[in-house]
Structure formats: C-alpha cells, structure tokens
Chains A and B, each alone.
Chain A
Amino acid sequence: MRKSLLLLILVIATLINAETLVIKGSNTVYPIAQLWVEQFQKMYPNVTATLEGAGSSTGISALLNGTCDIANSSRFLKAGEVEQMHKNSRYFVPLVIAYDGIAVIVNPNLGIDSISIETLNKIYTGQITEWSQVDPKLPKKTIAAYSRNTASGTFEVWLEKVLKGEKLSPRIQMLESSQAEIESVAKNQYAIAYTGMGYVTSQVKALKVEGIDPTIENVLSGKYPLSRPLFVFFDLSRFNNMWPENNVIADYIRFILSPEGQKLVEKAGYIPAYGTSK
C-alpha cells in the first residue's frame, strides 16, 4: 500500500515536472512530425509533446497567439502574417526541414517518358481526354486521370503548380491514399496520377516533367518544377531573441535536423532538406 502511494507521488511529481511541447500546423508535415514526436519522446521521456494537424494557417496563428511552441507549415509566411509578426514584435525563425516532391506516374507499359506542365494542366482541366491528343504516337484511349483528394497536401501543390487555380475536370478521379494511386496506375495501362516522390515504386513509371527527372538531387537543386519546401517555425522572441540553448524547443530542433531526424523525413515519404545518406 505504502509502496504504491509512493509510486503515485513519484508519477505525479514527474508529471508536474514534465516539460511540454505543443506542435500544430500543416497536414502535409503531419506524417513527418508524427514520427519525430514519437522518437523524440523516447529520447526525452520527461517531455510531453502534443501534435495537432489543422492546416498551416492555423499553426502559424497559434504560434502568434502563443498557443503552440512549434508551427509546421507547407508554405512560407504570407505578407499579412509577417506584418502581424512585426506588430506583435515577434521573431519567427523559419527552418526548411524537408521538400515535398511530386512525381507524375503512369503505367510502365505506356510509351511516354516526359510530359510538360501545360499538358498536365490540359489533362487535369479536361481539355485533353485521350492519350493520342498528348502524343499522336500514343493509342487513342481515354485517359484515366487520378488525383489525391482535396484534403491532402499533395493536392495543394498540384492546385498551385499544375492547375494554377483552375478548376479540376469532373472526369478526374479522387483517391484517398498514395497507395491507392500506385495500385490503380499499376493496374490500368492508360492511367496517370501524381504522388509524393517517396511513394513511387517499381510498379509504376515516374515521368520527366519539363524534361527534368524527378530525383532527389533535382529537387534539392530546385530544377524539378513540382516541388516545394516544408517549414517549421518557432518564436525566438520568447527567449529575448537569443537561441534557447537549454529549452526543449532547442532539443527538438536539434533532433529534427540530425541525421536520425532527417531519416524519418524520408520514411514519411518526403525528401530530407539536408540530403540523404545515399
């Protein structure tokens, strides 16, 4: 009885003593952050980290309100947000922690190797519906074009870089996961889809976009057109604009930039911003 009481006091004491780390923001970064938090809590058992994916804007405004410590974002700060930051004399530090590279995939049996953004735009807005319109050498077959559902971060990039804000054709089929896309394209000879580069398998063929191969090097050098950087923001003004050496935030950032942290980026299907060990 006494032992258990002691144990209880001990547990409560550690709970009170525990540091917290609140992370909020982008759903695109969420799968990476999930792996990070998991590993981070193993390394620092006295830290209680909470993670919430609610969109980049929500994360950044939470950082501004002081309701989170780290904001994940799939885009850089908007002009209005920078202004807000100055008004409140805050100092958000941006870190590029990964790249979201998107591969355009087709069935390996389709005789096409390269595609332009313009053609992709025409396919996804419905101006082109048959492969022979893409290239006269290709068969006169209906294009089965797949897209990720509108909730995904991959779709956001597509909307920005390929659709350029135009409306998706109603013929485009929405799929719920990258795996479903790979599966569908592997089975259908006349299908096309796009997916995070980390998900591409040998069952499908990744096309060159504007003549550039979808490789990690081309994304890191900025040549490949269908990619974007992913950010983590934290607020340095909370520490008098000094690097918070002994704070849990510093531990977390040190971890996510470390080789182990960057390996988890790859595991989540993204491109590590600091290169890979390969």
Chain B
Amino acid sequence: MKKIGETLFKSIVFTAAILVAAALFGIIFFLFSESLRAMKEIGWDLFSTEWFPVWEKPDFGIRTMLLNSIILTLWTSFVVFSIGIIVALYLHSYANKREKELMLRVLEYVSGIPSVVLGFFGIVIVAPILLKAGAWTGQNFFNASFMLSVLTLPFMISLSYQSLEKVPKEISEAAVSIGARDFAVMIVELRYAMPGIVNAMMSVFNRIFGETMIVLMVAGGSNLLVRSFFDPIRPLTATLGSELGEVEVKSLHYSALFFIGFLLLAISLAITLLTNYIVRWRERWIRG
C-alpha cells in the first residue's frame, strides 16, 4: 500500500515537472511561430527606427524602442546595483540590530507594492515635481528610471545583504587579523559574497528589462531616442502592453508584436544563461 502511494506521488511530481518544462518550451515555440510572419514579411526592417503600426503604409521598426529599453535598463541597473550594494554593506557591517530589523521590515513592505501603484505614484507625485524642476513633460526617462529603482531596490538590498551575511566569520576575522582596515575587510567579504550578488543583479536586471506597467504609465510613450534625462521614451514592453490588447488577431501588426515578445524573452533568457554560466563555471572571474 505504502509503495503504491509512493509511486503515485512520484508520478504526480514527475508530471508536474514535465508540464512546467513543456510550458516553457511551449511559450517559446508559440512566440516564435506567431512572429514568423513578421520575420518573413518585414525581415531586417524590423530593426529600423520607425514604428507606425496602424497607418496605411505601416512601419514596424523596433530599433528606437529596443535601444531605449536597453539604455533605461542599463542606467537603472547601474543605479540600483550601486545603491543596493552600498546599503547592504552598511546593514551588514555598521547597522546595529534594531536598525537592521527596521530596514529589513521596511524593505519587505516596499517590495510588496504592486507596480501599477508605483506607476500611479509616478504620475501623480513625481511628474509634477519634475515639471517644476524644469522638465517639459512629467512622464519621462528619469521618472521611469526612478520608479523602477523604487520597485527593484528592495530586492537588490535584501538579496545582497543575505549573501553578505552568509560570508563565514573566519573570512572577515582572518582579514582583520592580518591588519586589514574596515574598507579592505568589506572588499574581501564582497568578493566572497559575489556569486549571490551577481544572481541578485541578474534578477534585478531582468525585472527592470521586463517591467511593463511602470514604463507604460510613466516613461512618456514617445518613440524618441533618449538624449537627456527628461526625454519621454517608449520601451519595448510598453508598446507590447499598449497595443496587444486591441490588435487584429493574425495580422502583420499582431505578428510584429509577437516578435517583440520573442525578442524580450530571448534577451532575458540569454542574460540568465550567461549569469548562470559565470556564477557556476567562472567563479574565479568574480571572486578574483
């Protein structure tokens, strides 16, 4: 009897695992097959700058949006990584117990805020402040970047902090005993915690790259290549989120939107694989 139960349980778990894997491949295949038409009919023009999907002679060029997406993600990631690691180091090395508890509790709450609420906050509170500061429009690159930082900083801080806490006491004590100062000790600890931090960086990067609601609401929605912090932009995800709901099914526009989805997935998968490769097989690169 026990054996039957065990076998049954095993088979259920096995099926579940298979289903998840199948779903992932199913999604990739679905996105690919739906975007095939755009790839065939538009070809390399998919990477031109003009995106005019509903005009009589439509253009489906995603270059501007792709570049804006990448620039926004790189800049925001840079900000989030630097602030996140500095705060995590502070919590790890200087903060007393009460400070730590308070900060971690606050971060937990902040990380639970839905992105649509953050977007709303960006429109209602941040945009008027930016206007007062001299921006010609309230929804812009800076606003989006700021709200995305608010969204992802809690993850970055708490994940980096956890990695730092896992550094064995012997490592830091050894550093101290050979005469290292605070700063040098921190470097040693950071290096030891690096694989965890790199993982955190990857998930933050992917989160920013794929975030739709915030950029849809506060990035500005214009197909302008960003030149200053106050330029309105429209990242790829915003276009997808804005247009997919109303597009005629199976049309060229529909297919072009699926191409965007496919591209987003491909980039995000590539980054994940690269990070895994670095963390697993090339630990030396980052630990030194």
Contact = CB atoms under 8 A, between A and B. Distances in A.
B123 A180 contact: yes
Contacts of B123: 180, 183-184
Contacts of B272: none
B139 interface: yes
Contact of B137 (A55, A57, A165, A191): A191
A38 to B, nearest CB: 20
Nearest to B222: A173
Given A58-B248, A167-B50, A174 B136 contact: no
Interface string B27-61: 00000000000000000000000101111100000
B54 A159 contact: yes
A144 B140 CA distance: 11
A175 interface: yes
A173 B232 contact: yes
Given A173-B221, A174-B222, A159 B55 contact: yes
A165 B246 contact: no
A151 B245 CA distance: 8
Contact of B52 (A27, A168, A171): A168
Contacts of A39: none
B224 A171 contact: yes
Given A165-B55, A171-B222, A151 B247 contact: yes
Interface in A237-272: none
Given A159-B55, A173-B221, A54 B234 contact: no
B127 interface: yes
Contact of A187 (B54, B128, B232): B128
A202 B177 CA distance: 71
Interface string A169-202: 0111111100010011001111100000000000
B131 interface: yes
B243 interface: yes
Contacts of A53: 246
A172 B177 CA distance: 62
Contacts of B247: 151
Contact of B138 (A58, A167, A171, A187): A187
B221 A170 contact: no
Contacts, number: 76
Interface string A46-72: 000000011101100000000000000
Interface residues of B, number: 32
Contact of A172 (B55, B222, B245, B249): B222
Which of A151, A155, A190 has the most C-beta atoms of chain B within 10 angstroms of its own C-beta? A151
B164 interface: no
Contacts of A151: 54, 242-243, 245-247
Contact of A176 (B131, B232, B242, B248): B242
Contacts of B217: 176, 180
Contacts of B216: 176
B243 A149 contact: yes
B223 interface: yes
Contacts of A167: 50, 52, 55
B137 A173 contact: yes
Interface string B195-216: 0000000000000000000001
B220 interface: yes
B137 A170 contact: no
A150 B221 contact: no
Given A150-B53, A159-B54, A191-B137, A170 B127 contact: no
B76 interface: no
Given A165-B55, A188-B131, A188-B138, A175 B245 contact: no
The 10 closest A-B pairs by CB, nearest first: A151-B246, A174-B221, A142-B136, A144-B137, A170-B223, A173-B222, A170-B224, A149-B242, A150-B54, A173-B221
Interface of B: 50, 52-56, 64, 123-124, 127-128, 131, 136-139, 216-217, 220-224, 232, 234, 242-243, 245-249
28 contacts: A27-B246, A53-B246, A54-B248, A54-B249, A144-B136, A144-B137, A149-B221, A149-B242, A150-B53, A151-B243, A159-B54, A159-B55, A165-B55, A167-B52, A167-B55, A170-B64, A171-B222, A172-B222, A173-B137, A173-B220, A174-B234, A174-B242, A176-B221, A180-B217, A183-B123, A184-B123, A188-B138, A190-B136
